[in-house]
Structure 1
Amino acid sequence: MNVPALLAVIAAVVIIIRIITFRRRGRRYRPGIAVVAWLLVAINTWLAVRILFTGHLDAWWIALLLAVIAASLLRAGGNLAHLLRPPWRY
């Protein structure tokens, strides 16, 4: 397993754990954001398992994209709605 593949697996696991452990704490429930979060967890799970079984990554930019999403999600506290909010609403 090469470095980009390892980085992609670690970033995918961070994304999965952070989304699963997110607590709303009084924030409103948004069904659309819940579907996006579910899809993000499903895609990252599939990607991590695929990389672990094959041992390689098809493109280096996937690792970079996953690392950026993981860092943004950690910065937002796991709030996916905060990441998907339009820039003029800040």
Structure 2
Amino acid sequence: MAYIANGRNIGNCVSLLRVNSANSSESNMLILQESCTDQTASFVIYAPVDIVAMNAVLIGSDPDYVALLPSGFAILPDGGCMGDSGSGGSLFTVAF
């Protein structure tokens, strides 16, 4: 529904996504997602948001009353030395 660039990298953005579901009880949900990557890490954080609450925020209501339960993941370099073989590692963290 919306895409707001955040930084120089085209993947760094905040997005508002609509949930398409056959279940009518889920049709009133949106997903607020932030994606970011740079030399130190990459992450994706997202939270389901009630469409009524998001519409209220978009018309100027106080966003402090919107309940957010974020989840996501981060990918960080493991800090190991990359040798001649080019092997290095990553640390992948998931949070719910």
Task: With the length of structure 1 as denominator, give the TM-score of the two structures.
Answer: 0.29
- Which structure has the greater CA radius of gyration? 2
Q: Which structure features the higher share of strand residues?
A: 2
Indicate the structure whose relative CO is greater, using CA pairs within 8 Å and at least 6 residues apart. 1
Q: Which structure features the higher share of helix residues?
A: 1
